[in-house]
Amino acid sequence: VVYLVVFHLSFFMFVWSYWKTIFTSPASPTKEFCLSKADKEQYEKEERPESQQEILRRAAKDLPIYTTTASRAIRYCDRCQLIKPDRCHHCSACDICVLKMDHHCPWVNNCVGFSNYKFFLLFLMYSLLYCLFVAATVLQYFIKFWTNELPDTHAKFHVLFLFFVAAMFFISILSLFSYHCWLVGKNRSTIETFRAPTFRNGPDKNGFSLGCSKNLREVFGDEKKYWLIPIFTSLGDGCTFPTRLVIMDPEQLTVSSQNEPAKSSGASQPFPTRPLSESQNRLLTSDCQWVESGSEEENVKSGSQHHFISPLPF
């Protein structure tokens, strides 16, 4: 009875998560990130990149944008004709801009991003458990096969095939699931791992990391009872994300270390001013302050001063 309950439960959660990953539409930027008709016409008429950037800066001055391109330009999508929110990227396969895009997955024929990233993680986890369950239950027959204790029937080849398939899928999915668990702990997407987001103080691959606990809550939500169920509980709106403390460049660091006394890393400091819809993010409303981890001795040894990222001055 227990065997059947575990089997059907794991299979049901596997199918449910897979279904939600496939059929959840990728979330796209809201209308506030689209250029107005007048700005769009003016942008298309301009031939000089500098003039086009000036139009984008004017349109983005009230938007909650922290990141730019590597060349310090406004991130703009010519295909969708909109200013890209932070962590948003254009998917060539879906031909849309996807919020917090991680990658386009051919196995689910869908983009994995803000709207279905939790479902994708649960799909990997339940696939892993399902493969482990199958391999464990077939293991005893697999051992009998090698010791020639299994009856000489055609079924023994099915047992051999089933065990190897389950074991190979388990190993491959385990590596992928472990990688994405690491990404969740660091609050990065696959794209951000290969190309760090650029803030006003430069590229920072940990720019959106708030600590492992808050990073986990950002994907799975505040209520732990819903974490293992494939229903949407991720925090935020997908367009804005809280940012972390980042290290300034060496020239700014030298000036600040001369003008400011050393501060203990245990002292709590406020988040940057919340832009626009970021106030809807429960990671910020639950507590408006967070403490940078680490000891005072480590900061003194490294000689690093940390400063908050502020919205880009357009």
Question: How many whole angstroms separate alpha carbon 159 and alpha carbon 212?
Answer: 42
Question: How many whole angstroms separate alpha carbon 158 and alpha carbon 137?
Answer: 14
pLDDT, position 249: 39
Query: Residues in the chain, how many?
Result: 314
Q: Is 297 helix (H, G, I), strand (E, B) or coil?
A: helix
Average pLDDT over residues 3-30: 90
- The catalytic residue among 105, 131, 212, 239 is 105
Helices (H), ranges, the chain: 2-23, 37-45, 49-60, 117-146, 155-186, 190-194, 212-220, 250-259, 282-285, 296-302
pLDDT, position 291: 35
Question: How many whole angstroms separate alpha carbon 28 and alpha carbon 99?
Answer: 6
pLDDT tens figures, 246-284 = 444 333 333 334 444 333 333 333 333 333 333 334 444
State both tokens at 87. 């962590």
Res 299 pLDDT > 50: no
pTM > 0.85: no
Helix 117-146 / helix 212-220 crossing angle, nearest 10 deg: 100
Burial readout 3-34 (b: 16 or more C-beta within 10 A, e: otherwise):
eeeeeeebeebbebbbebbbebebbbbeeebe
Note if 105 is an active site residue.
Answer: yes
Q: Could you give the percent of the chain with pLDDT greater than 70?
A: 75
pLDDT tens figures, 132-149 = 988 888 888 878 777 777
pLDDT, position 170: 94
Res 285 pLDDT > 80: no
pLDDT, position 294: 38
Helix 49-60 / helix 37-45 crossing angle, nearest 10 deg: 160
